[in-house]
Structure 1
Amino acid sequence: MDASAEAPLVTYELRGAVAVVTLNRPEKRNAISDRVVAALDEAVSRATAEAKAAVICGAGPHFSAGLDLAEHVEKTLIEAVENSRTWHRVFDRIQRGCIPWVASLQGAVVGGGFELAASTHIRVADPGAYFALPEGSRGIFVGGGGSVRIARLIGAARMADMMLTGRTVPAAEMERWGGVSYIAPEGEAFEMALKLAERTAQNAPMSNYAILNALPRIQDMSSEDGLFTESIMSALASATPEAEERLRAFLEKRAGKVEAPAGGGGNA
């Protein structure tokens, strides 16, 4: 048997408090198959159990070219529906789990790869990364949650444009649209993603949980329901022993103040 066939489809590494999850099909541009989704599900479970934050990235020159079309074309109608719902379940465990996820993006971030990236909380792109949703030309429709997650990041009109025309969007433009959080210096996307994940891992767990789970739900609520939910979450987060210790550390000048960004002005 070819040794490469035995390589794990998704690799996992724990670096301190941060789990590093890597899509590992570089010869297929990290196309996402059923087995990849299953392996990703296992990695998410492991990261949730033993890490305080996670980075997801792709081996080789691309993050992910999306759905494994060779596998998808063989599915029956009901199998396609069930497959889509599996993607939803796994990606939702990333978006609304217990720990922050940061995506390191390079090369192709296409179709299902973009849907996976959209389920993370912070997206760091290499300047050469590019984004596309070619479903219209393939005769299919997004099935990994993109109609909800990507549309909320960049707007339904821009998403429809990408799907209808097949246009490829460079990283800098995607950042302006809201689909990318940071553009890293060339070749440094992973290192930036790792540093950001390490920073989020230092937050109080209850604060992170509220940010990951309350914020997206509040967006689905009326203003009044959202404000009420905010009050409840604010009280719950503030009532933890860790919150009390962190607030006392600030008041007793054992914790630093917020500083102005480099080159910026204003009061800290």
Structure 2
Amino acid sequence: MDARIITYELRDRIAWIGLNRPQKRNAINEALLAGLEAAVLQARREARAMVLFGHGPCFCAGLDLAEHRSREAAEVFQHSRAWHAVFSLIRRGPVPAIAALHGATVGGGLELAAACHLRVADATAFFALPEGSRGIYVGGGASVHVARLIGAARMMDMMLTGRVVDAATAERWGLVQYQVAESGAIGQAEALAARLADMAPLTVLGVLQALPRIQDMSEEDGLFVESLMAALAQTGPEAAERLGDFVAKRGAKVAEPGEGGGP
């Protein structure tokens, strides 16, 4: 991994992965994609949660068009599939990923954010899919994953009109789960990551691996897989310990919002 283009730090079971091309607004080129792949694979070996963030003025301004404009159609196809493969390491991997977003989160940057399991946006974050205005089409998974988050109609609007969405609208649409004050995304992501790192591994397995697949199943098949996952999670040592703590009134109860119930 090239530390000049991707930074990596492991702290308290949390892997911090930083996009580090600030002079290019963290645009994704071949080197950054390769560095991201290496960092995610390292996080899968040693972390219990990971946070992706951008150094400099924004999270990620998308595809490096200077590198992309000379590609032939077959090369564009293979390049798109390479993005899918790397982003799938995040989406389908065993380690929950949080995107801490500020400034431009557009095009391929939005696709990368959508590959994460949780998204936190500070007040400066804005979102767009400018590929339509540039005569190209999304290639990093937006047709599936962004459309599933916000709906195909809203994605059509963004691509056809060039609409730019602010953080408040993104939260209302379901594009991000948390909206925080300017410069607050890293702090919120850290708090969330600490909670995720402490979760029972079999519960994390169910949320990351079973839940997304259940969405593509029939109702009856989805319920069947849910029952299997519930049975599997019950076999973990954490289940017996944590349920015992709750029954013995040693475990924390669910609190109302704003009363210590979570980030």
After TM superposition, the structure 1 = structure 2 runs for residues 113-262 of structure 1, keeping only pairs within 5 Å, are 113-262=109-258
Greater mean alpha carbon deviation, residues 94-103 or residues 242-251: 242-251
Contact 1:58 1:105 in 2 (8 A): yes
Secondary structure of 2:94's counterpart equals coil
* CA–CA separation in structure 2 for the residues paired with 1:116 and 1:217: 20
Q: Does 1:26 align with 2:26?
A: no
Shift in Å, 1:245: 1.7
* CA–CA separation in structure 1 for the residues paired with 2:149 and 2:175: 5
TM-score (norm 2): 0.96
Q: Does 1:78 align with 2:74?
A: yes
What do the CA deviations read for 1:165-220 (whole angstroms, capped 9, x no partner)?
01111110111000011111221111111111111111001111110111111111
Contact 1:97 1:209 in 2 (8 A): no
Percent identity (aligned): 58
* CA–CA separation in structure 2 for the residues paired with 1:253 and 1:47: 35
What do the CA deviations read for 1:64-95 (whole angstroms, capped 9, x no partner)?
00001111111122111111111111111111
Shift in Å, 1:259: 1.3
Aligned equivalent of 1:96, options 92, 97, 104: 92
Letter in 2 for 1:141: Y
Shift in Å, 1:263: 6.5
Note closer, same or farther for the CA distance 1:83–1:257 as it changes in structure 2 (3 Å cut).
same
* 1:65 corresponds to: 61
TM-score (norm 1): 0.94
Letter in 2 for 1:179: L
* CA–CA separation in structure 1 for the residues paired with 2:127 and 2:244: 45
Provide the aligned C-alpha RMSD in A: 1.3
* 1:46 corresponds to: 42
What do the CA deviations read for 1:92-131 (whole angstroms, capped 9, x no partner)?
1111111111111000000000000001111111111100
* CA–CA separation in structure 1 for the residues paired with 2:218 and 2:79: 32
Shift in Å, 1:7: 5.7
Aligned equivalent of 2:32, options 32, 36, 47: 36
* 1:16 corresponds to: 12
* CA–CA separation in structure 1 for the residues paired with 2:259 and 2:33: 43
* CA–CA separation in structure 2 for the residues paired with 1:69 and 1:43: 23
Q: How many pairs does the alignment contain?
A: 259
Note closer, same or farther for the CA distance 1:222–1:32 as it changes in structure 2 (3 Å cut).
same
